[in-house]
Amino acid sequence: MTRAELAQRIDHTLLRPTSTATDIERLCEEALHYRFASVCIQPCWLKIAVRHLQDSDVAVGTVVGFPLGANMSAVKLYEAEQALAAGATELDMVIAIPALKSGDWRTVRHEIEQIAALCRSATPAAVLKVIIECCYLTQEEKIQATRVVAEGGADFVKTSTGFGEGGATVEDVSLLRAAAPPHLKVKAAGGIRTVSLAMQLLQVGADRIGTSSGVTLLQQLQEEA
């Protein structure tokens, strides 16, 4: 895989709570320079990112219900509406973890359906990635969550927020890919700091890599070449 090909699989991420406007501007400049697939930032920075990345191929992504997924569904829906109105074209929403762990799959599915419908109605249509936070789930819950994400109309199932007790693993990505129907893509995120791990995750089925170490991964790939 070339450096350009890897860059197109990376969501260049900065979700640190202490990030500043200057940090976001630097993130956007890096995304433009390396031609990453997108940036993924906190909602409060959307205005800056949209301005910096307008007329470019870099998508602007943000998070919804982050990082716990425990917001009321109406709050998540409003947050998604505001993000899309501000110019976001990709939303990474945390699944309703409390409902999931309680076995209330109806609530989980309905919430995804609502936000997926909102993304489809946006102009242009937005991409919805649903974070299931694998570190808190049993194997059976991961499989069922992936199926519900697909049934709800999302575009991606995503492994982790990066704020939980664990990040992306080869085993989890393999499991999600096997459980997902062909149209549902897989995003690996959380603790991906080496190009070796990134390549392993892509090989077992990840379509996107979410990482704050995107520049480092590309540098490592170039050094190995």
Give Cβ neighbours of residue 26 (< 8 Å, ≥ 6 apart): none
Give the active site residue among 11, 92, 155, 172: 92
- 92 an active-site residue? yes
Give the active site residue among 129, 142, 158, 185: 158
Distance CA 55, CA 52 (A): 9
- 187 an active-site residue? yes
Tokens for 220?
A: 């490592």
- 158 an active-site residue? yes
Q: Are strands 127-131 and 185-189 parallel, antiparallel or unpaired?
A: unpaired
The residues carrying an active-site annotation are: 92, 158, 187
